[in-house]
């Protein structure tokens, strides 16, 4: 599935399972193909949702860098509603309001229609849903790949320790 000329998602579940298969030790919890198919389905669902709902909406709503700035601003404001109020947060929100005013001034200068703001706000919902779907995928994958290179790289955050040897990803353990 091509979402753009240079971005391709393979939606074949068997290929996704083959990509996820690390041939690592199998514990009783890990029924290799069944577990990989669950992980593959979650990834497939997230990719399909992104292609079907997020990409078309984003292509329509995100036309300029200012649009992306406004979307990020809306996302930050939306996510900060769930955080306890503090003086640091309030000062940050004041700064965000200044950015918002600047964006409003930009829109007035270039006489952009106010409904465009609505498109950006409505884009938040599919973005949040897609993020949730990818979060489910990563949680399930983390559970399955616990103790493998996937978990080690994700856990320590050091991608510098990864390298490719004979077309296989290796992990250099600096503690040896």
Average pLDDT of span 32-40: 74
Q: How many beta carbons lie within 10 A of that of residue 17, not counting itself? A: 20
pLDDT at 29: 43
pLDDT at 126: 92
pLDDT at 27: 46
Average pLDDT of span 12-18: 66
CA angle 93, 97, 101 (to 5 degrees): 170
pLDDT at 37: 79
pLDDT at 26: 46
Average pLDDT of span 126-149: 81
pLDDT at 118: 82
Is the pLDDT at 139 greater than 70? The verdict is yes
CA angle 82, 47, 83 (to 5 degrees): 5
With CA atoms as reference, report the closest residue to 131 among 139, 121, 122, 119: 139
Average pLDDT of span 165-170: 60
- Mean pLDDT for all residues in the chain: 73
Q: How many beta carbons lie within 10 A of that of residue 68, not counting itself? A: 14
pLDDT at 49: 92
With beta carbons less than 8 A apart as the criterion, state whether 8 and 24 touch: no
Cα 171 from Cα 165, distance rounded (Å): 10
pLDDT tier for residue 71 given thresholds of 50, 70 and 90: confident
**Residue carrying the six token digits 């829109």:** 107
Q: What is the pTM of this model?
A: 0.59
* 3-class DSSP state of 112: coil
Burial class (CB in 10 A: 0-12, 13-18, 19+), 100: middle
R_g over Cα of the chain:
21
Cα 153 from Cα 144, distance rounded (Å): 14
pLDDT tier for residue 90 given thresholds of 50, 70 and 90: confident
Most confident range (mean pLDDT) of 79-83, 91-95, 149-153 is 91-95
Is the pLDDT at 171 greater than 60? The verdict is no
Average pLDDT of span 78-92: 70
Conformational region of residue 157, where left means phi above 0, alpha means psi within -120 to 50, and beta covers everything else:
left
């Amino acid at each position: 599935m091509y979402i753009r000329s240079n971005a391709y998602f393979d939606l074949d579940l068997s290929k996704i399972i083959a990509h996820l298969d690390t041939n690592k030790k199998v514990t009783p919890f890990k029924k290799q193909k069944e577990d990989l198919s669950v992980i593959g389905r979650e990834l497939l669902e997230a990719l399909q949702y992104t292609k079907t709902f997020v990409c078309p909406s984003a292509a329509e709503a995100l036309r300029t860098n200012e649009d992306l700035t406004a979307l990020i601003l809306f996302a930050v404001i939306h996510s900060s509603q769930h955080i306890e109020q503090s003086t640091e947060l309030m000062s940050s929100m004041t700064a965000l309001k200044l950015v918002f005013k600047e964006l409003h001034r930009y829109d007035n200068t270039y006489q952009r229609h106010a409904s465009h703001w609505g498109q950006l706000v409505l884009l938040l919902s599919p973005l949040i849903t897609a993020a949730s779907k990818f979060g489910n995928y990563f949680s399930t994958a983390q559970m399955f790949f616990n103790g493998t290179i996937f978990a080690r790289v994700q856990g320590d955050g050091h991608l510098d320790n990864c390298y490719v040897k004979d077309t296989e990803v290796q992990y250099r353990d600096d503690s040896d």
